[in-house]
Amino acid sequence: MRIGVIGAGMIGATLGSIWIRSGHEVRFGTRHPERVKIRDGLSQTVAEAVSWAEVLLLAVPLGATPDVAATAGTALMGKIVLDATNPFAQREPEAAREIEAAGTGSGQWVAQQLPGAVVVKAFNTVYFQQLRNTTGTGPNAPGIPLASDNEAALNLAAQLVRDAGF
């Protein structure tokens, strides 16, 4: 599957690398493709990665979501987006306050920012080092909670969770 990872930081680089090892095609959409070198040829602009991908992982600071939406534009239409973001008040007090005031939870807030996309909350609950240090599937692999209104998207997300070994 073609997976576009938006944000090549701790969570994005970790999960993208895991999916590459499991046989998926991955591109990293970043603001600085020339600087982000996870592997040669894998870094693109956000717009390129969104257009290329069949499914996306949103792995940017939560407050950057509207910027990602503006950059990606209509390429987001119909795409499944695994949303790993969190309203982390110490890091992004303004975005966290906005979501708290909205009263919807961050998953619905992100879905509102990405009209036309199908959002699944995923991979937001486990520290990246734990994902990185997990070897093999089995009873000790972390469970990944998923949430979405779309059953087909949930099933796809669950498959990508299993493919990643969780």
Binding stretches for ligand NAP (CB under 6 A): 7-12, 30-32, 46, 59-62, 64, 67-68, 84-86, 88, 124, 127-128
Asked if residue 27 lies in contact with residue 40, where contact means CB atoms within 8 angstroms, the answer is no
Closest separation in Å from C-beta 62 to ligand NAP: 5
The region, left, alpha or beta by phi > 0 then psi within -120 to 50, assigned to residue 24 is beta
Q: Which is nearer to ligand NAP, 64 or 80 (CB)?
A: 64
Q: Which residue is nearest to ligand NAP (CB)?
A: 9
Q: Which is nearer to ligand NAP, 55 or 59 (CB)?
A: 59
Closest separation in Å from C-beta 111 to ligand NAP: 15
Tell me how far CA of residue 28 lies from CA of 38, 42, 47, 83, in angstroms: 9, 6, 11, 15
What SS3 state is found at 17?
Answer: helix
Q: Which is nearer to ligand NAP, 8 or 53 (CB)?
A: 8
Closest separation in Å from C-beta 118 to ligand NAP: 19
DSSP-derived letter for residue 147 is B
Residue with tokens 């040829």: 41
Q: Which is nearer to ligand NAP, 38 or 158 (CB)?
A: 38
Asked if residue 81 lies in contact with residue 118, where contact means CB atoms within 8 angstroms, the answer is yes
